[in-house]
Amino acid sequence: MPRRHRGFTLIELLVVIAIIAVLIALLLPAVQQAREAARRTQCKNNLKQIGLAMHNYHDTANQFPPGMIYTGLINAGGAAADGQGFILNHTGWSMILPYIDQGNLYNQFNFSQASNDARDGANGLPVMGNFQPNRKWGSEMLPVYLCPSATEVFKVTYQGADTMFWTDEAAPNCYMLAGGGLGEGYRSWGVYGGSNAALPDGTTVNLQGAFGNNKSASIRDFTDGTSNSVMVYESTLRKVYTVYGPVWGQGRHIAVYGGPLPDGTPNSLTNCLFKINANPERCGLAGLTRPWARTPSSEHVGGCHVLMGDGSCRFMSENIDYIAYCLTGFIKDGRVVGEF
């Protein structure tokens, strides 16, 4: 009798392929979620390493590292009052290099010469020495300063007319120092320590944050408690403008400091613009859909990581109560934050 060959029919093959496709479709989101969970864990670990480095620096210097040293943004009057005669633009991120296993890189920096050529041309201050060697070391990509979920990771170069943003192949940084309710251009940390502002609920609080120019807080300055005050915010590299992306080794006007800028008017632009993951377009700035320079933000869904003053790391929701969000950014506002 003739032998009969058995095989799969076309319909059977299509059914099997369809089942496999459905299983892949079900499995893929779970795999992506697992990968993102791993990336979030690594991001959190980065902040814990940074927190340990900050506290080790504090143990040595009895204060946290200055956010910026002799910034080029300060105006002529402020520079004269502070006795600043030149520009260095070094950052606190450079100061903690020995405590994140980057002692060799730290030793390459010459802290008596500038890190770059970023300056306010109106203040007339000279950039100290030859910045090119330090500029080179500030171009090193450091994994501990990069969140694994970050996209558009590239070195930042800006040499346009606005010299306050000057950078040359500056390595990015996914984290920003908590500068309180003030920015890069203000005078030294000790000078603005008495500055106050009204919150949208009508109360007036002290704006001082953990970091500032030329000096920063010590543990005893956290009168609100180190567990209630943010020390470092996470930041996406995908800012509203490319030049706003944070960098670690070349101090400049933008994105060294992060956090809220509270306004007593509840619906003000600043109260909207500096919320976590805020979309500027929803704040009335048409066509701008990425976070502003000092806005805490991340590629994680729903919020961003923050490093508290006690070295603990928390995930702060983008839906956090705005008053609580502001208060966690200050170290001596005298208000009880509560759970967040």
Per-residue model confidence as pLDDT tens digits over 137-181: 999 999 999 999 998 899 999 998 899 999 999 999 999 999 998
Q: Is the pLDDT of residue 193 over 70?
A: no
User: How many domains, in total, are found in the chain?
Assistant: 1
Q: Is the pLDDT of residue 6 over 70?
A: no
Q: Is the pLDDT of residue 219 over 90?
A: yes
Place of tokens 């480095």: 53
Asked whether residue 339 is assigned to any structural domain, the reply reads no
Q: How far apart are CA 176 and CA 155, in angstroms?
A: 17
Q: How far apart are CA 156 and CA 161, in angstroms?
A: 16
Asked whether residue 5 is assigned to any structural domain, the reply reads no
Q: Is the pLDDT of residue 1 over 60?
A: no
Of the pLDDT bands very low, low, confident and very high (cuts 50, 70, 90), residue 31 is low
Q: How far apart are CA 62 and CA 56, in angstroms?
A: 10
Question: 197: burial class by Cβ within 10 Å (0-12, 13-18, 19+)?
Answer: middle
Instruction: Find all residues with CB under 8 Å of 298, minimum gap 6, and list them.
Output: 43, 147, 149, 174, 234, 235, 236, 277, 304, 305
pLDDT of residue 127: 94
Share of the chain above pLDDT 70, in %: 95
Q: What is the DSSP code (8-state) at residue 125?
A: P
* Helix (H), strand (E) at residue 316: strand 313-317
Kindly state the tokens that stand for 58: 């504090």
What backbone torsions phi and psi does residue 17 show, to the nearest 5 degrees? -60, -40
Are 96 and 286 a contacting pair, CB within 8 Å? Answer: no
Strand 230-234 and strand 175-178: pairing? Answer: antiparallel
Strand 257-258 and strand 175-178: pairing? Answer: parallel
Kindly report, residue by residue over 52-97, the tens digit of the pLDDT. Answer: 999 999 999 999 999 999 999 888 888 888 889 999 999 999 999 9
Three-state SS annotation for 161-215: CCHHHCEEEECECCEEEECCCCCCCCCECCHHHHCEEECCCCCEEECCCCECECC
- For residues 53-66, one letter each, b for 16 or more C-beta atoms within 10 angstroms of the residue's C-beta and e for the rest, the string is bbbebbeeeebbbb
Asked whether residue 286 is assigned to any structural domain, the reply reads yes
Asked whether residue 26 is assigned to any structural domain, the reply reads no
Are 313 and 48 a contacting pair, CB within 8 Å? Answer: yes
135 versus 17: the higher-pLDDT residue is: 135
pLDDT of residue 276: 97
pLDDT of residue 121: 84
Asked whether residue 7 is assigned to any structural domain, the reply reads no
Of the pLDDT bands very low, low, confident and very high (cuts 50, 70, 90), residue 8 is low
Are 163 and 243 a contacting pair, CB within 8 Å? Answer: no
Are 217 and 326 a contacting pair, CB within 8 Å? Answer: no
Asked whether residue 4 is assigned to any structural domain, the reply reads no
Whole-structure pTM value: 0.89
Kindly report, residue by residue over 108-128, the tens digit of the pLDDT. Answer: 999 999 999 999 888 889 999
On the CB side of 320, how many CA atoms lie within 13 Å of its CA? Answer: 29
pLDDT of residue 192: 65
Of the pLDDT bands very low, low, confident and very high (cuts 50, 70, 90), residue 20 is confident
Residue whose C-alpha is closest to residue 291's, from 186, 176, 206, 165: 176
Q: Is the pLDDT of residue 5 over 90?
A: no
What average pLDDT is seen over the chain?
Answer: 90
Strand boundaries in 79-178, DSSP class E: 90-91, 156-158, 167-170, 175-178
pLDDT of residue 143: 96
Name residue 19's amino acid.
I
Of the pLDDT bands very low, low, confident and very high (cuts 50, 70, 90), residue 11 is confident
Lowest mean pLDDT among 22-36, 130-144, 193-207, 307-321: 22-36
pLDDT of residue 58: 97
Share of the chain above pLDDT 90, in %: 70
Q: Is the pLDDT of residue 258 over 80?
A: yes
* Helix (H), strand (E) at residue 304: strand 303-308
Of the pLDDT bands very low, low, confident and very high (cuts 50, 70, 90), residue 183 is low
Kindly state the tokens that stand for 97: 């290099």
Residues spanned by the domain of 79 = 31-328
